[in-house]
Amino acid sequence: MRNNDDRIGSQSRTDSASAAQAATSGPTPLDFIRPITVLSLPSEGKFYPESHPLHNQDTIEIRQMTAAEEDVLTNRTLLKKGLAIDKFLERIMIDCSVGPNDLLVCDKNAVLIQARIDGYGPDYKTRVACPACQTVQKKKFNLYECLRTTTPEISDEEGIQILSSGNILIETSNGWQVEIRPLLGSDETTIASNEGKNAIQRQLQSMIVSVSGHTDEVTIRKAVEHLGGVDSRRIRKTHAQAFPSVGLKSPFQCQQCDHDTELEVPLNAEFFWADL
């Protein structure tokens, strides 16, 4: 049963429909049972439009990964095209009507982290480079801790309004009313395209729903180009505080130069290859 005090709650069951049929002779037949995990969605199904299968759904079911999924994650062609993680997600999500691109980033990250816990356990050891001096050092994550959702920390204040949809309306210094929404898996792909060129503008274009009532792409793109640095920063900061997030985030203190910061490790295919 889901524990309301604990948003990282997940439970397992098994898919007995795939169990082997009894054989008449020879050794006891193997049970080809593939466990299923019911995972709490960090978004709790908010922000998804009514037509979306996850609208107001607070859980999602995923299959435990097998050697077949390991093959997907190490498939060179898929890795080259940047499709390995998406193909992997398509295989483990039970509800075929939900694609990885339609998932909010917080929910997508939670599915990836849960899949790795189901596959290899909750300890994740990796190497990270210090952002200041580039010294590479070891870092260990407890993935259950990482699954804990960072809950929104925003209240109605001057120039910021929380809409009934969950989206946020921000008034910029030039009087524009900018509506923002949480990012989807497809937005991540757009932002990362062209080797991350113009990443801040792409990020803003993805998160902005409308500018003073204008919803068309061309107007939003022009508005983003004309957005002052202070407003750009405020919109991105509000975005980071206003919507739930899940990821490999951890405080980091460099052993070499004492640089103190918060690090976020990307959830790419390498996440599944670390030393066990």
254 binds Zn ion (CB under 5 A): yes
Residue closer to Zn ion, measured from CB, 3 or 137? 137
Residue closer to Zn ion, measured from CB, 60 or 254? 254
Token digits of residue 23: 């054989």
249 binds Zn ion (CB under 5 A): no
Q: What is the DSSP letter of 210?
A: E
256 binds Zn ion (CB under 5 A): yes
Instruction: Please list every residue from 198 through 237 that binds Zn ion, using CB under 5 A.
Output: none
136 binds Zn ion (CB under 5 A): no
Which residues pair with residue 137 across a beta bridge? Answer: 128
List, in order, residues 6 or more apart from 192 with CB less than 8 Å away: 82, 199
129 binds Zn ion (CB under 5 A): no
Burial (Cβ within 10 Å: 0-12, 13-18, ≥19) of residue 211: buried
Residue closer to Zn ion, measured from CB, 240 or 257? 257
Residue closer to Zn ion, measured from CB, 94 or 129? 129
Burial (Cβ within 10 Å: 0-12, 13-18, ≥19) of residue 148: middle
Residue closer to Zn ion, measured from CB, 66 or 255? 255
Near Zn ion by CB under 5 A, which window of 89-97, 124-132, 153-161, 178-186? 124-132
Residue closer to Zn ion, measured from CB, 14 or 137? 137
Question: CB of residue 254 vs Zn ion: minimum separation in angstroms?
Answer: 3
Measured CA to CA in angstroms, residue 220 lies from 193, 205, 208, 224, 276 at distances of 19, 7, 7, 6, 46
Burial (Cβ within 10 Å: 0-12, 13-18, ≥19) of residue 151: exposed
| Four-residue CA torsion sign, 84, 86, 90, 92 | positive
Residue closer to Zn ion, measured from CB, 12 or 253? 253
Near Zn ion by CB under 5 A, which window of 68-76, 79-87, 116-124, 126-134? 126-134
CA distance 142 to 172: 39
Pick the binder of Zn ion from 133, 136, 163, 240 (CB under 5 A): 133
First to last CA, the chain: 30
132 binds Zn ion (CB under 5 A): yes
Pick the binder of Zn ion from 130, 146, 246, 269 (CB under 5 A): 130
Three-state SS at 124: strand
259 binds Zn ion (CB under 5 A): yes
* Residues at the interface with Zn ion (CB under 5 A): 130, 132-133, 135, 254, 256-257, 259
